[in-house]
Homo-oligomer: A and B are copies of this chain.
Amino acid sequence: MKQSQLFTKTRSEAPKDEVSKNSELLIRAGFIHKEMAGVYVFLPLGLRVLENVKKIVRDEMNKIGGQEMMMTTLQPKEIWEKTNRWDDAVVDNWFKTKLKNGTELGVGLTHEEPFVDALGEYIQSYKDLPILAYQIQNKFRNELRAKSGLLRGREFVMKDMYSFARTEEEHNMLYEKVADAYYRVYDRLGVGQITRRTFADGGIFTKKFSDEFQTFSDIGEDTIYVNEEKKVAINKEIFTDETLEKLNIKKDDLVEKKGIEVGNIFPLETKYTEALGVRYKDEKGEMQPIIMGCYGIGISRLVGVLVEIFGTEKGIVWPESVSPFKVHLVELSQGDEVLKKKATDLYEELISKGIEVLFDDRDARAGEKFADADLIGIPHRIVISKKTEEKGVLEYSNRITTETTGKTKEEIIEILK
Taking beta carbons and an 8 Å cutoff, which residues of A are in contact with B?
5-9, 30, 33, 35-36, 39-44, 46-47, 50, 65, 67-76, 95-100, 105, 107, 114, 118-119, 121-123, 128, 131, 133, 138, 140, 142-144, 154-155
Contacts and interface: CB of A to CB of B under 8 A. Distances in A.
18 contacts: A7-B122, A7-B131, A8-B122, A33-B118, A33-B121, A35-B76, A36-B74, A36-B76, A36-B105, A39-B74, A40-B72, A42-B70, A43-B69, A44-B133, A72-B155, A95-B98, A95-B105, A99-B142
Given A7-B122, A138-B138, A35 B154 contact: no
B7 A128 contact: yes
B122 A154 contact: no
Most buried by B among A36, A76, A119: A36
Nearest to A78: B36
B44 A100 contact: no
A126 to B, nearest CB: 14
Nearest to A40: B72
B97 A70 contact: no
Most buried by B among A35, A119, A140: A35
B74 A154 contact: yes
B118 A41 contact: yes
Nearest to A133: B7
A132 to B, nearest CB: 9
B96 A97 contact: yes
A75 B99 CA distance: 18
Contacts of A74: 35-36, 39, 95, 140, 154-155
Contacts of A121: 33
Copies in the complex: 2
Given A7-B122, A7-B131, A122-B7, A68 B39 contact: no
Contacts of A75: 35
A75 B155 CA distance: 11
A36 B65 CA distance: 28
Interface SS of A by simple majority: mixed
A7 B67 contact: yes
Contacts of A67: 6-7, 44
B8 A73 contact: no
B99 A97 contact: no
Nearest to A143: B100
Contacts of A5: 65
B71 A138 contact: no
Contact of A100 (B8, B73, B107, B142): B142
Given A7-B133, A67-B44, A114-B41, A35 B72 contact: yes
Nearest to A111: B41
B97 A97 contact: yes
Contacts of A119: 7
B97 A69 contact: no
A96 B99 CA distance: 10
A47 B72 CA distance: 12
Contacts of A40: 72
Contacts of A97: 95-97, 107
Most buried by B among A39, A68, A72, A114: A72
Given A9-B122, A100-B142, A122-B8, A35 B114 contact: yes
A325 to B, nearest CB: 14
Most buried by B among A69, A76, A98, A122: A69
A272 to B, nearest CB: 16
Contacts of A99: 142, 154
A5 B35 CA distance: 42
Contacts of A71: 35, 41
Contact of A43 (B47, B50, B118): B118
